[in-house]
Amino acid sequence: MRLILGLGNPGAQYELTRHNAGFLVLDALTEKHNIKLDTNRHYCLYGKGTIGGHEVVAAKPMTYMNESGKAAKAILSALDILPEQAIVVHDDIDLPLGKIKRKHKGGDAGQLGVRSLINHLATDRFTRIRIGIGRPEHHEDIVDFVLSPFTQDDFPIVREVQEQAVELIETTLAEFSEKPKKSEEDTGC
């Protein structure tokens, strides 16, 4: 079984924010594969299903972003899934809007949700699907930027990114049992 963990912040006020790119991709994935997120346990809202013949658990941490590791550790432990069997989908300000990269291990690059995962799991050996959200012009505006909603002009790109990220997750699941991974790949508009 594999875990697909979309990072974000719970609550309606964060629903369409840039920081919730992981939640938005997970929503598209679960809708496409008819996986109902109907269990609220282990600090996560999650559901089980099958994608391309692979049993998966799709989950959203119900902690805030910087506590995502607490939820990841709890659900991985409860379901007896290794961190290496997890795909984590998260926003990335170092990538422009529309760009997606897959990474199989490494540091957190300042992403506090990923930092929390690495700290709680005591490993960096999980796959990341990095969703580009762009970067604000001024460094001091980062928190406001990631917690702001996507603009109307952004939504066509966001929808396209959701579709591409879902395809990348499907491909990643298929490759888990096929061959060794490269450390990083990218895709995007």
Task: Write down the catalytic residue from 19, 33, 90, 104.
Answer: 19
- What residues have CB less than 8 Å from 51, skipping those under 6 apart? 29, 33, 169, 170, 173
Residue 144 CB neighbour total at 10 angstroms: 10
Token duo for residue 148: 């702001």
Give the C-alpha separation, 157 to 45, whole Å: 26
How large is the angle between the packed helices 112-121 and 68-78, nearest 10 degrees? 40
Whether 19 is catalytic is: yes
**Please, what is the end-to-end C-alpha distance for the chain in angstroms?**
31
Token duo for residue 127: 């796959």
Give the C-alpha separation, 125 to 85, whole Å: 9
Closest to 128 (Cα-Cα) out of 88, 167, 161: 88
Token duo for residue 122: 């005591």
**Residues with catalytic roles:** 19
